[in-house]
A and B are shown apart, each in its own frame.
Chain A
Amino acid sequence: GAVVSQHPSWVICKSGTSVKIECRSLDFQATTMFWYRQFPKQSLMLMATSNEGSKATYEQGVEKDKFLINHASLTLSTLTVTSAHPEDSSFYICSAQVSGTGYEQYFGPGTRLTVT
Chain B
Amino acid sequence: AQSVTQLDSHVSVSEGTPVLLRCNYSSSYSPSLFWYVQHPNKGLQLLLKYTSAATLVKGINGFEAEFKKSETSFHLTKPSAHMSDAAEYFCVVTSDSWGKLQFGAGTQVVVTP
Contact = CB atoms under 8 A, between A and B. Distances in A.
Query: Are A and B subunits of one complex?
Result: yes
Interface of A: 4, 32, 34, 42-46, 49, 93, 95, 97, 102-110
B4 to A, nearest CB: 10
Contacts of A32: 98-99
Contacts, number: 47
B43 to A, nearest CB: 4
Contacts of B34: 104
A42 to B, nearest CB: 8
Contact of A109 (B43, B46, B90): B43
A49 B98 CA distance: 10
B1 to A, nearest CB: 13
B100 A104 contact: no
B101 A46 contact: yes
Interface residues of B, number: 21
Classify the secondary structure of A's interface with B: strand
A13 B82 CA distance: 39
Contacts of B105: 42-43
Contact of B42 (A46, A97, A109): A109
Interface in B41-90: 42-46, 49, 51, 90
Greatest chain B CB density within 10 A among A4, A104, A108, A109 is at A104
